[in-house]
Amino acid sequence: MVLLIRALAFLAVSLAFVPTPGSAQGGPVSVSSGVTYEFLARWDADKLNTILTDDMPAFAGIPVSYTPARNAVKLYRVTYPSVVPERGNKPIIATGLLAVPDTTDTAFPMVSYQHGTVYGKQQVPSYPDQSQETQLMLAQFAGQGYLVIGADYFGMGASSEPEGYGVKASHQQATSDMLVASRAVIAAMKLSATKLFLSGWSQGGFVTFAMLERLEAIGVPVQAVGTASAPVDILPFLTGFLQFPRTIDADWASILYILTPFSFENYYGVPGLARSVIADAYYDVARKIYERKPFEISDVPTDLHKLVRPEYFDAQFFLNSAFGRLVAQTHAYRWVIRTPVRAYYGDADEIVRTDLGRLPMTYQKTFGNDGVEAISTGATTHRGTFAKAVSQWKVWFDGH
């Protein structure tokens, strides 16, 4: 419960403070077709190495050996046009981060990082000071000569849309359009990306597999993929907490049953969906959390039996409900994956079970595809799995 209270406390406080986008170097620069970018900051190698040696061990709770940063990094917020597939391709504006190594080189490998579940609207890549996971990616990859990009997802960052948490096609749209926009920006900077790698943690692991599915379908080459704690099939992911709870299950798992039904209600157009899942006593505070409005922390339950309506603890009811039918369609591993993938999982992960972390490999092996490997990071927690996986992604990507 301590982790949930701390996270929700941060969200409650952050609602009162919305940072102003950086506008150094003369403000936003227009590139083409509605794409703009603006300079945020320059992080030197010392700052990046402090992230690796001090900040990340504190965040993850375990020591990890990383490759030290050797160069500074320039950070830019990219604003780009996109569409919402679930809403008849409604035009919207989205944001993301582009990190460029501050070197004399003009060609770099590129990593697209997909972020995990966050509590604050600005705890996303284009607000790197508020995103510790993004900071690690910048320190380990951008500080080693990689371009790093990251979409904020619809409804996050500077987006005015409602959040589309777990909404697969919108995640695919946000990330693929961010890739196109970033390539336009680096071309305007007279730079180029030589290779493309994908990575993501937790929710971002799911989004990474979804992005890969989209890119393979349209013929965009990806050299390799690395994920950590990826819940690639949302039905067993959500069912597990209700039907087969573990003693190690995180108390903050309750946020999953807030963000998902509200997002599905908004994006799939199912009025009343969230109310059908969330108990009446907690509906109002849950809506405030989803909409990032002020709320009382003491009003948020950590017990799923209080938050979720009792009928959803019946597996058949859940599966046959309007919410369950949408959840059952939300997966990202059921195609013949051609790109080399390493999916890392933790044996003590309090959110993503071991077998769920291994699922992409298990499924691919059912028809003889050995190109997806599931690799344990040992007895690591959810954060610890991410911290260890990033260092192994670096070795994995460097080899390609």
Nearest Cα residue to 116 out of 230, 201, 197, 56: 201
Q: Is the pLDDT of residue 13 over 50?
A: no
Q: Is the pLDDT of residue 367 over 90?
A: yes
Do 173 and 90 contact (CB within 8 A), yes or no? Answer: no
**Which pLDDT belongs to residue 6?**
45
Instruction: State mean pLDDT over 211-238.
Output: 98
**Which pLDDT belongs to residue 161?**
94
Considering just the CA atoms, what is the radius of gyration of the chain in Å? 20
**Which pLDDT belongs to residue 32?**
86
Q: Is the pLDDT of residue 42 over 70?
A: yes
Q: Is 232 exposed, middle or buried (0-12, 13-18, 19+ CB in 10 A)?
A: buried
> Which of these CATH numbers, 3.10.20.740, 2.40.10.350, 3.40.190.10, 3.40.50.1820, describes 2-233+331-398?
3.40.50.1820
Q: Please tell me the pTM assigned to this model.
A: 0.93
Collect all residues with Cβ–Cβ distance below 8 Å to 280 and sequence separation of at least 6.
Answer: none
**Which pLDDT belongs to residue 25?**
58
Q: How far apart are CA 19 and CA 28, in angstroms?
A: 16
**Which pLDDT belongs to residue 294?**
85
**Which pLDDT belongs to residue 22?**
38
Tokens 């199912």, located at residue = 270
Percent of the chain with pLDDT over 90: 89
Percent of the chain with pLDDT over 70: 94
pLDDT band at 285, cuts 50/70/90? Answer: very high
Q: Starting from the edge strand earliest in sequence, which strands make up the sheet with 107-114, in order?
A: 24-32, 35-43, 73-84, 90-101, 147-151, 107-114, 192-201, 224-228, 341-345, 372-376
Q: Is the pLDDT of residue 24 over 70?
A: no
Where exactly are the structural domains of the chain?
Answer: 2-233+331-398, 235-328
**Which pLDDT belongs to residue 20?**
36
pLDDT band at 1, cuts 50/70/90? Answer: very low
pLDDT mean across residues, the chain: 93
Q: How far apart are CA 14 and CA 252, in angstroms?
A: 18
